[in-house]
Amino acid sequence: LSKKAGYKPVKLSMSRAEQMKSMPIVAGYRAKAKMGFRKDGRIVAYSVRFLFDGGAFADYAVNVARTAGYACTGVYDMPNAYCESITAYTNKAPTTAIRGFGYPETHWVLERMMDIGAKELGLDPLEIRSKNFLRMGDPTSTTGYGTPMRADQGDLLGVMKTSAELIEWDKEPEQPKEPWKIRAKGIAVSLKGPSQPPNAVDAAVIKFNEDASVDVLVATGNFGQGTVNALRMLVAEYFDLPLEKVHLSWMNSTEWNPYTWQTVGSRSLFTVGQALLEAAEDAKKQILDVASKVLKVKPDELEIADGKVFVKGEPWVSVPLSEVVMGYTFANGQVYGGPIIGRGKHFPTLSYLDPDTGQALPMNAETGHPEPGHVTVFYTFGSTAVEVELDLLTGEIKVLKATQVYDLGRVINPLTATGQAIGGLVMGMSRALFEEIIFDDTGGVANPNFSFYYIARAKDVPDDIRVKFLETPQANAPLGARGFSENVMIAVIPAIANAIQRATGVEITELPITNERVWKAIRQQRPDLIEKAMKALKEWRG
């Protein structure tokens, strides 16, 4: 269309129904899993098979399935694991990626299996998880030939314990006045890393202005996740500048800005941040070179802070940064240096998957990288705990309390991080309890509007939401920070189902967990609960 219009911008406008019927949707899936435990709760084997609905045309579903496969063992040490993940064509709308990119799907199965195992063995859900957590330095089950979990990857046990403490796990919930309702708590843990190919390159440019302010050029998108401010903060801290002196251009166009692969996968802070810090280092090297000629010392004897370049230990021996960044003019009129422009790029240290085993192929020794392969550049650990209220007669579920705990390495912007955690909770609740595309016999969408496609609303959000961040800085991350914008919804979904199981003993294995499905599950698995609830209701009414 753009070509026919003389390469002018074009706009595609669709009604809600048109959009829901014809545009890519989230991939539906089925999973079949088995998990074997020793009596003490240690996992001995795990087998899972995913079958994803790819829709009628190839989109991104196959990549979602790929991630679900290699991430299938999650945060657990499994001596024996078999994970198979397949995408099939169907006569439905094409399916694509959505927040989480395969991790919500694999964690839904995995975290439900852990609670089912805990129930069968008579163990507390916290105990069975802590017995099986990967310890730092352990090789992961499915992410590479002997690839160890980094020692600075995060405090996994601390994340879960903090989540449990915030929800007061050891304290029984106060039961409602209505005797046909019941309350219980559930918990789940998660990990999330960026899903990206080895050639997912990012570039950044830093330009200094005459007043020593900075223009940052990147092509990463900004659609509410707070990346712009986080990247500005990286640069401001690096040069010890006020935040208002750092301006960031994030236009999604390589016509104006340097290339970035994609704004996806919770990758931008880590990968674009790496490119940005390399650009900052390049700019700093140029600044120190100029200042060294002015102050007549070696560049490594200088520091940048408070808007000036000065000799280490002698801050009074200095030159204003604004006199350096456009080239310094000496007393005789000679100019040395020039406009400071820093350039940086970043490639993730990754390898492809072995087509036979699904594990990361070993790295090439000639590149100078470590021998083990990697499928992701970091993992962020998280845990969600909830307290729910369940109406045994209607199946209605209300989330009363929730905790969100994540180890971010380092929190760059506490305000936006907290916003992400709360927003992810609501989105996780929406996927857990409401969102469902219903298909007719021909594969068409039968509920193409918000009258029948339900989402979480303000009244569904719990008043009591507790958010906390742990900080285990990662050595190869920008300022030690990891991304987490997708992880915030992953554990929410199984945590709600786990709470329902603890309340009733009923196993929930299908999403969304609608009132009808819960009511039917109770009738089929625990009809005695309905009888007791009916009796309680009659007594309540007198």
- Considering the domain boundaries, does residue 92 fall inside one? yes
Question: Looking at residue 338, what is its pLDDT?
Answer: 86
415 and 525 assigned to the same domain: yes
Residue with the bigger pLDDT between 98 and 372: it is 98
Burial of residue 187 (CB within 10 Å: 0-12, 13-18, 19+) is buried
253: pLDDT strictly greater than 80: no
**Mean pLDDT computed over 293-302:** 93
- Considering the domain boundaries, does residue 231 fall inside one? yes
CB 130 within 8 A of CB 40: no
Q: Which stretch of DSSP H or E encloses residue 225? A: none
276 and 400 assigned to the same domain: no
Chosen domain end from 325, 346, 367: 346
- Considering the domain boundaries, does residue 18 fall inside one? no
480 and 434 assigned to the same domain: yes
Question: Looking at residue 251, what is its pLDDT?
Answer: 64
- Give the sign of the dihedral formed by CA 124, CA 127, CA 128, CA 130: positive
305: pLDDT strictly greater than 70: yes
Domain hosting residue 232, numbered range:
204-346
- Considering the domain boundaries, does residue 220 fall inside one? yes
The side-by-side arrangement of strands in the sheet containing 380-391 is: 181-192, 380-391, 397-407, 464-470
367: pLDDT strictly greater than 70: no
Question: Looking at residue 148, what is its pLDDT?
Answer: 64
- CATH no. for residue 291? 3.30.365.10
Instruction: State the pLDDT confidence band at 271, using cuts at 50, 70 and 90.
Output: confident
Instruction: State the pLDDT confidence band at 146, using cuts at 50, 70 and 90.
Output: low
Long-range CB pairs of 241-248, under 8 A, 24+ apart, other chains included: 241/212, 241/213, 241/214, 241/307, 245/211, 245/212, 245/213, 245/214, 246/213, 246/214, 246/216, 247/213, 247/214, 247/215, 247/216, 248/215, 248/216, 248/217, 248/218
Question: Looking at residue 230, what is its pLDDT?
Answer: 85
145: pLDDT strictly greater than 60: no
- Considering the domain boundaries, does residue 48 fall inside one? yes
369: pLDDT strictly greater than 70: no
- Considering the domain boundaries, does residue 510 fall inside one? yes
Chosen domain end from 99, 124, 142: 142
237: pLDDT strictly greater than 70: yes
pLDDT in tens, 434-454: 999 999 988 889 999 999 999
Could you give the angle at the alpha carbon of 360 between the alpha carbons of 356 and 363, nearest 5°? 120
CA-CA distance, 435 to 451, in Å (whole number)?
A: 12
382 and 437 assigned to the same domain: yes
Q: What's the total number of domains in the chain?
A: 3
pLDDT in tens, 171-221: 999 999 999 999 999 999 999 988 777 788 889 999 999 999 999 988 887
CA-CA distance, 300 to 53, in Å (whole number)?
A: 57
CA distances from residue 294 to 280, 289, 316, 330 in whole angstroms, order as listed: 21, 9, 14, 8
249 and 324 assigned to the same domain: yes
Question: Looking at residue 82, what is its pLDDT?
Answer: 93
Instruction: State the pLDDT confidence band at 478, using cuts at 50, 70 and 90.
Output: confident
Question: Looking at residue 501, what is its pLDDT?
Answer: 96
Question: Looking at residue 259, what is its pLDDT?
Answer: 76
150: pLDDT strictly greater than 80: no
211 and 79 assigned to the same domain: no
Strand partners, 165: none
Question: Looking at residue 352, what is its pLDDT?
Answer: 80
Question: Looking at residue 366, what is its pLDDT?
Answer: 61
Residue-wise over 420-452: b if at least 16 C-beta within 10 A, else e?
A: bbbebbbbbbbbbbbbebebeeeeebebbeeee
**Mean pLDDT computed over 264-269:** 77
- Using DSSP, state whether 162 is helix, strand or coil: helix
271 and 412 assigned to the same domain: no
174 and 38 assigned to the same domain: no
- Considering the domain boundaries, does residue 371 fall inside one? no
Cis peptide before 94 (omega within 30 of 0): no
331 and 426 assigned to the same domain: no
Lowest mean pLDDT among 129-138, 299-308, 317-326, 353-362: 353-362
**282 φ, ψ to 5°?**
-60, -45
pLDDT in tens, 110-127: 999 999 999 999 999 999
- Considering the domain boundaries, does residue 352 fall inside one? no
501 and 419 assigned to the same domain: yes
Instruction: State the pLDDT confidence band at 242, using cuts at 50, 70 and 90.
Output: very high
33 and 170 assigned to the same domain: no
322 and 409 assigned to the same domain: no
- What value does the mean pLDDT of the chain take? 90
